[in-house]
Chains A and B, each alone.
Chain A
Amino acid sequence: MKNFKRVPVPPLNHINDYPMGSSCESFHITDQNSGWRVFMPVINLDKCVSCYRCYLVCPDGAIHQNEDQKFEIDYDYCKGCGICANECKINAINMVKEDK
């Protein structure tokens, strides 16, 4: 579960908008990683048995369980590496080409 609130984009128009000094507060995240993706993973929820494997192996932590106990992908931070689809033992995750 992502437990932070992203700072709205773009907040950085003037030098005063930047955090001061050589340190900043934790989880100060201003932009997304979704532009890195060529293929996007899509979870087939009819097939998914909630084994937690994709959630465990995601290097970005972009897969989490929502309130309905279903797994969902945070497409703002998924980089489309494909580990989840490769590790899913019942092939419930498909990699679909981004249509941009």
Chain B
Amino acid sequence: MTINKSIKLNARNITSDEYFYGHKACGGCGESLALRLALKVLGDEAYLSLPAGCMAAVSFIYPNMAFKNNAMITPFASTAAVATGVAAGLKALNRKHLSVGFAGDGGTADIGIQALSGAIDRGEKFIYICTDNEAYMNTGIQKSGLTPFGASTTTTPAGKVIRGNIKPKKNMFEIVAAHGIKYAATASVGYLEDFMNKVQKAKEADGPAYIHVFSPCPTGWGHESDQTIAIAKEVVDNGLWYLAEYENGKFSLNKKPDLSSDIRPYLKGQARFKHLQDEDIQIVEALRAEKWAQMLAEWQ
């Protein structure tokens, strides 16, 4: 199916073909949903580079191969370097294919950040999609640079004195935008039409493009597997995550949340935040207020 650029993508007009099927991700995995829908938008002309992470582990289980696209596993630190190498190779062969890197939050914000920074700096045409589930889930829920304040992981366990992670989340979207990238956006699997249209914009961008998609992990976060979409929607509605874009040197916000809303239902629905006390929740609220004051002042 060819996609008319003037029409917004939705469930009815995306292709009915599947490009990611029969994989072994946990039931209710938000990351595999983001990957499935991104591939539906990108089509089978996309060449995928995936580092060692959940999405590589669940699809390349010998002798299974869950992708329809050409896909390969890269060293952990070099997703973006491999993706731009593939893009250069395709250019040399005069093919119109698209090179796409898919990495988790650890592979993007911690281990792969220098390769990503270099690749954006070179200005190659490629797409980088970061599926953010807020910890190293594949190796057993260790803290990453994108783990939020207060979350209990196996390396930041909740105890009597220190209650979970003591650092706030790294501003990965702004770090990428600071390179002067052609297109960058944040998304959430709670707003799937928005995510698909951002992938389409990234596909059409004339240069590197980056999408940061918030994708809940039932195993690591300790919530029911059927709540994945509801949690990803709630986090945008209460302002703990934001939908924004960076284009032509300007930031824009796509959705304004209700900043007075109670964040307790969101936090208490997940085992990783269950231990938080009132004073910790006040810190989370203060971090939210600080972030939004800055975004509302500078991004519109």
Contacts and interface: CB of A to CB of B under 8 A. Distances in A.
Contact of A53 (B11, B25, B36, B66): B11
A86 B230 contact: yes
Interface in B70-114: 70-71
Contact of A33 (B22, B28, B30, B229): B22
Interface in A49-68: 52-53, 55-61, 64-65
Interface string A59-84: 11100110000000000010111110
A98 interface: no
A52 B226 contact: no
Interface residues of B, number: 40
Interface string B205-225: 000000000000010000011
Contacts of B8: none
Contact of B63 (A3, A19, A55): A19
For chain A, the bracket of interface size reads: 35 or more
Given A83-B225, A83-B228, A59 B18 contact: no
Contact of A61 (B10, B20, B30, B62): B20
Contact of B65 (A1, A27, A64): A27
Given A31-B64, A55-B11, A86 B69 contact: no
Interface in A27-57: 27-33, 36, 52-53, 55-57
Nearest to B69: A26
Contacts of A28: 63-65
A6 B27 CA distance: 21
Contacts of A27: 21-22, 65-68
A83 B226 CA distance: 4
B215 to A, nearest CB: 10
Contacts of A4: 21, 68
Contacts, number: 111
Contact of B16 (A64, A79, A80, A81): A64
B18 A61 contact: yes
Contacts of B288: none
Given A4-B68, A24-B63, A31-B64, A81 B18 contact: no
A29 B229 contact: no
B27 A80 contact: yes
Contact of B30 (A30, A55, A56, A59): A59
Interface string B46-60: 000000000000000
Given A52-B12, A82-B226, A87-B229, A26 B68 contact: yes
Nearest to B67: A26
B11 A29 contact: no
B192 interface: yes
A96 interface: no
A22 B225 CA distance: 33
Interface string B234-270: 0000000000000000000000000000000000000
Given A1-B17, A33-B22, A65-B16, A83 B28 contact: yes
Given A2-B21, A27-B68, A83-B225, 16 more contacts: A1-B18, A18-B62, A18-B63, A28-B63, A29-B64, A33-B24, A52-B12, A56-B192, A57-B192, A57-B229, A77-B21, A80-B27, A81-B29, A83-B226, A87-B229, A87-B230
10 contacts: A1-B16, A25-B65, A29-B66, A64-B18, A77-B22, A81-B29, A81-B225, A82-B225, A83-B28, A83-B225
